[in-house]
Amino acid sequence: MATGSIIALAAALAVAIATIGPGLGQGIAASKAMEAIARQPEASGDIRTSLILALAFMEALTIYGLLIAFMILGNM
């Protein structure tokens, strides 16, 4: 394999791995938030606020993976 193709593979893996974890986490967090709202509808505002904040942090992890991929490709 050429060095360029190995670097491209590393960048692709960086994005893929950085996307899998937060994707699963977002699905689980949303599921649990919906369960919590179904159990206590009067707390839906607080639950929604906490969920949005948690989803933003998870999304930041994915963006960091994309940033690392760009940094890897910059070394090409």
Q: What is the pLDDT of residues 29-54, one digit of tens each?
A: 999 999 999 999 999 999 999 999 99
Position 1 scores a pLDDT of 64
Q: Return the CATH number of the domain spanning residue range 3-74.
A: 1.20.20.10
Position 74 scores a pLDDT of 86
Position 63 scores a pLDDT of 92
Q: What is the pLDDT of residues 13-23, one digit of tens each?
A: 888 988 999 99
Mean pLDDT of the chain: 90
How many C-alpha atoms does 66 have within 13 Å on its Cβ side?
7
Per-residue tokens: 49: 């606020």
